[in-house]
Structure 1
Amino acid sequence: MTATTDKLHGELITSIEPDFKLKDIIKSIPKEYFQKDPVKAWFGVITNILAVIAGYAMLVYSPWYLLPLAWIFTGTALTGFFVIAHDCGHRSFSNRPWVNDLVGHIFLLPLIYPFHCWRFLHDRHHAKTNMVTIDNAWDPWELEAFNSANPLVRLFYRGIRGRFWWLGSIAHWAILHFNIEQFKENEREKARFSMIVVLVFAAIFFPTLIFYTGVWGFVKFWVVPWFVYHFWMSTFTLVHHTDPDIQFSYPEEWNQALAQLEGTVHCSYPRWVEILCHDINVHIPHHISTAIPSYNLRKVHASLQENWGSHLKETKFSWALMKRIVDYCHIFDSETAYKTFKESRG
């Protein structure tokens, strides 16, 4: 046994031993929380579609001074589309692979995201979470890599790690998801298929939208909601695993269970955001097992709080939180987790 439990003043305390494994955490979760419920899954689909329709109705009928609110709502609802596809990618939406693939492709089309490309790269993030140079989601650069990069790349990295963090997922999308070299040989056929699907969709959808609504319609109905979606995508993914106290590790020092349990952050957002985004912020359970459907994440988090509470990192979204992250979490440091750009120069 690699984890022991004791009672201290009525609170369950779980101590972790050196040979601690992810399966030890999974065993503590009630089995029914892994079960898929088609009614809940499709209810989430229907309500999300209705939310997006409501958002676009607001964009059509709102006076100009209410457009910012309509954009924020619509972009956030479109983020829910991504989360549905996210469940599909992890096969936690349906027991039928073809249903997962079909729904995943459809819901990522408006975001111009190639489903299989995202799925393959995201699986690697889960397999190597918080592993230096291997994890592909907000892994901090080592100082040597930063110093050896050309000035434009360094400037870009500074921006993404600083006040332009909200553009990070756009860079990730553009640089990785359409590059066939990122995928293994046995993944490339499906990756190409997904690329073709979204490119054909874009080639038809964008000219049609511009033809009927003009350039302003293109900006109003797609570009701005898409940027709002990427604000949430960048923010969620950055906050999920980034904090001055969260240590990335080299492969030889990395522990899968600790990386998923202690290296993942639960962050509370305004409840309307959590509802529209299907509780994607309840992220620790998802890193314990990707088989947990999004509608069960809160139940699993409560179970983890009961059994592993002293090891969970929980916070609340605020601009102060984002400032803390983007002002400090810049360059990887093996002893202090991070150094700022200024400290790295010293």
Structure 2
Amino acid sequence: MTTSIIKTEEISNNLGSSELRLKDIIKTLPKECFQLSRRKAWTQVIINVLLVGLGYYSLTISPWFLLPIAWIFTGTALTGFFVISHDCGHRSFAKRRWVNDLVGHIFLMPLIYPFHSWRIKHNHHHKHTNKLDEDNAWHPIRPEVFNSWDETRQSAFEFFMRRRFWWVGSIGHWAVVHFDWRKFKAQERADVKLSVAVVVIFAAAFFPVLIATTGIWGFVKFWFVPWLVYHFWMSTFTIVHHTYADVPFKAAHKWNEAIAQLFGTIHCDYPRWVEFFCHDINVHVPHHISTAIPSYNLRLAYSSIKENWGSYLHDELKFSWPLMKQITNQCQLYVTDVGYQTFDEYYAENKHSVNR
């Protein structure tokens, strides 16, 4: 069984979990990190629109054997659309709320993603990062929860992890959570209904026109496959941001917000072109220290955090297929106060009660 990293225990023992606060970390960041720049924000928009346009142009002219490259290019550029909306959701794109809401809706429309639904759920993730049973992003499944599922659901989850289908995880989250306003508080439902209506109306107008003019193959070629590439990055970024064999999830009474954001958030380096297309969203630690930091200031903030709080940070990772294999092989179930457990370890411990 994998044991959670000793580093967080040492931090808690040496400082006392209540002594480290987010505001202490925020105070050490340069003020420039929090300055919104209209020029930088709209430059990102222009660059992203041009990249997406170039991607779709490449799809129209590419022979069949170059389509995979064009799909990866276009889907990654569309992920940049999401990151712009991500800043809007945190009110770090523009100073005016209505601008954030308008831009956020516009750039999530092609992805059929309801803006307010995502914004509300995502802010919950920031408030409860790596808190066991409360974090609503990529959270681990405890053995007792897994054991309570029926065999079909257990088999589906096990297949999902063992066969490395992590990259479709965000599709399930998108479909199950973001269109059902009953999953939201009463005061949030009007915003959620508005965002759902926006993407439903867009889809009802856009998809029939796309199919009528390009056929079913056009729908697959120009929207569905780039959308899958977007979800590949969405799922990958989400799991890697907070999942590694030594990253602990804590019960509420043991959880410390500052430690969870510092050590429980992982900096992972991706190919430079991916970082450019996606506006450095994987320089993720400063974003969890303060969501007020816009994406174009994340690297400045991270340099400061490494200088002042480097001993609290998780080791940096580098994106690769072996990394994803390692995460999906090791981080399958989670034992409270102990750490990650593999399915094989789970079945070995429960062989007297599990017959598979």
Instruction: State whether TM-score is above 0.5.
Output: yes
Q: SS where residue 155 of structure 1 aligns?
A: helix
- Tell me, yes or no, if the aligned pair for 1:160 and 1:166 is still in contact at 8 Å: no
Question: Is residue 43 of structure 1 aligned with residue 38 of structure 2?
Answer: no
Q: SS where residue 82 of structure 1 aligns?
A: helix
CA deviation after TM superposition for structure 1 residue 161, in Å = 3.3
> Which segment drifts farther, 152-161 or 95-104?
152-161
Code of the residue aligned with 2:232 in structure 1: it is: F
Q: What is the distance in 2 between the residues matched to 1:93 and 1:190?
A: 19
**Please, what is the CA RMSD of the aligned residues?**
1.0
Q: SS where residue 203 of structure 2 aligns?
A: helix
Question: 2:352: which partner in 1?
Answer: none
- Residues 237 and 140 of structure 1, relative CA distance in 2, 3 Å threshold: same
Question: 2:59: which partner in 1?
Answer: 59
Question: 1:10: which partner in 2?
Answer: none
Question: Is residue 132 of structure 1 aligned with residue 132 of structure 2?
Answer: yes
Q: Counterparts of 1:113-262 in structure 2 under 5 Å?
A: 113-162=113-162, 163-262=164-263
Code of the residue aligned with 1:338 in structure 2: it is: Y
Q: Give CA-to-partner distance per residue, 1:113-169, whole Å, 9 cap, x none.
A: 000000000000000001111111111111111111122222232234341000000
User: What are structure 1's unaligned runs of at least 5 residues?
Assistant: 1-14
Question: Is residue 318 of structure 1 aligned with residue 295 of structure 2?
Answer: no
Q: Give CA-to-partner distance per residue, 1:1-59, whole Å, 9 cap, x none.
A: xxxxxxxxxxxxxx744321111111110112101000000000000000000000100
Q: What is the distance in 1 between the residues matched to 2:308 and 2:156?
A: 42
Question: 2:332: which partner in 1?
Answer: 330
Q: What is the distance in 1 between the residues matched to 2:160 and 2:267?
A: 22
Question: 1:5: which partner in 2?
Answer: none
Question: Is residue 289 of structure 1 aligned with residue 290 of structure 2?
Answer: yes
Question: 1:73: which partner in 2?
Answer: 73
> Which segment drifts farther, 160-169 or 216-225?
160-169
Q: SS where residue 137 of structure 2 aligns?
A: coil
Q: Give CA-to-partner distance per residue, 1:295-346, whole Å, 9 cap, x none.
A: 0000000001101112212111011110110001011122432001111122
- Tell me, yes or no, if the aligned pair for 2:80 and 2:279 is still in contact at 8 Å: yes
Aligned residue-pair number: 332
Normalising to structure 2: TM-score of the pair? 0.92
More strand by share: 1
Q: What is the distance in 2 between the residues matched to 1:99 and 1:160?
A: 39
- Residues 159 and 292 of structure 1, relative CA distance in 2, 3 Å threshold: farther
Q: SS where residue 135 of structure 1 aligns?
A: coil
CA deviation after TM superposition for structure 1 residue 175, in Å = 0.7
Normalising to structure 1: TM-score of the pair? 0.94
* Identity %, equivalent residues: 60
- Which residue among 323, 340, 343 is the counterpart of 2:342? 340
Code of the residue aligned with 2:233 in structure 1: it is: W
Code of the residue aligned with 2:157 in structure 1: it is: Y
- Tell me, yes or no, if the aligned pair for 2:181 and 2:193 is still in contact at 8 Å: yes
- Tell me, yes or no, if the aligned pair for 2:250 and 2:337 is still in contact at 8 Å: no
Q: What is the distance in 1 between the residues matched to 2:109 and 2:158?
A: 31
Q: What is the distance in 2 between the residues matched to 1:81 and 1:46?
A: 11
Q: What is the distance in 2 between the residues matched to 1:16 and 1:268?
A: 30
Q: Give CA-to-partner distance per residue, 1:236-292, whole Å, 9 cap, x none.
A: 000000000000011111100011000000000000000000001100000000000
